[in-house]
Structure 1
Amino acid sequence: MHRLAVPILLTTLSSALAHTQVTVVMPKPAATVAAPRTIQLRFSEPVNLRFSTFRVVPLVDGPSTDTAALKALALKAGDPRLMNLGPQPSGMAAQLSLRLKPGLTPGAYLIAWSVLSEDGHPVRGHSLFRVK
């Protein structure tokens, strides 16, 4: 009986540990591009955008990218440091397009996100790109 319980437990744990992931980011991580008009994010499963946060900010020298991402996520909508425009998206989606302010200046930019995984756990991440 114990032999059967182990595979069931492992299957249950692996399912419980599966969190939503961002599978595609455009511009691609570390890419150098002309100033984009939008950022594209694709998720491994639909997420509730109402409980998600997305920020695009210029990357400044100083803190690590992890720290910079946390600071970006703490910015309020409408903060002048934000490069993404528009209202907070809502509904369920497996992909998202974020409009950007026109004419991004050359330099490094940070895309930061926090989404609520289907199992209720928050998932944070970030990506960098450069504007030439």
Structure 2
Amino acid sequence: MKHTKQRYGGSFGGLTSTIVAWGTDRRLKEMSMPKYIRTLMLATLIGGMFVDEAFAHARLTSAIPAEGSIVAIAPNELDLSFSEDVDLKFTGVLLIGADNRTVATGPASFGAGNAASLVVPISRALDAGTYTVDWHALSADGHKAKGSYSFIVRP
């Protein structure tokens, strides 16, 4: 039996799709893939790239002072709340002042015994200016996350 190659000329987003399989004469042959299967496979691939980010990392859900806030009274601590429990030994905060210098902070602790809430005391009174909070967290299930936000202390 003579085998003839057939190639499907369709494309999806610039991607042509063909499936290579063994033919009846033990040679490789190409078979076309229906458009709906290509679309489903592409959607699954793209969706899968975001699953890990959405479900496996502790993300910052709220903070005091809040992101982008302007406060009239300088805070004496930072309160960060996460979407899941974090490991205190591998979670931390760096407070950076308007002069790009690190502001001294005390040891972090869990707020009200809640392992998803981090309290970081600030060692000195903050001067007026913009401050950046750089945080990193290791969730209880072992996934790392990090981020930053800023707030302003008004004179």
**Are positions 1:23 and 2:61 aligned together?**
yes
**Are positions 1:130 and 2:143 aligned together?**
no
Which of 123, 126, 130 is residue 101 of structure 1 equivalent to?
123
**Are positions 1:83 and 2:121 aligned together?**
no
Retained in 2: the 8 A contact 1:57–1:83? no
Counterpart-to-counterpart distance in 2, 1:16 and 1:119 = 12
Max Rg structure: 2
SS across alignment from 1:104: coil
Please, what is the CA RMSD of the aligned residues? 2.8
Give the count of matched residue pairs: 105
Unmatched runs of 5 consecutive residues or more in structure 1: 1-5, 62-71, 73-80
Judged with a 3 Å threshold, the aligned counterparts in structure 2 of structure 1 residues 131 and 83 are, in CA distance, closer, same or farther, namely farther
Q: CA deviation at 1:122?
A: 1.6
The TM-score, its normalising length taken from structure 2, stands at 0.56
- Pairs within 5 Å for 1:1-132: 13=48, 16-17=52-53, 18=55, 19-33=57-71, 34-60=73-99, 81-85=102-106, 87-89=107-109, 93-132=115-154
SS across alignment from 2:68: coil
Counterpart-to-counterpart distance in 1, 2:91 and 2:125 = 26
Unmatched runs of 5 consecutive residues or more in structure 2: 1-40
Retained in 1: the 8 A contact 2:108–2:118? no
> C-alpha offsets along residues 80-101 of structure 1, whole Å, 9 cap, x if unaligned?
x32322x354897110111112
The TM-score, its normalising length taken from structure 1, stands at 0.65
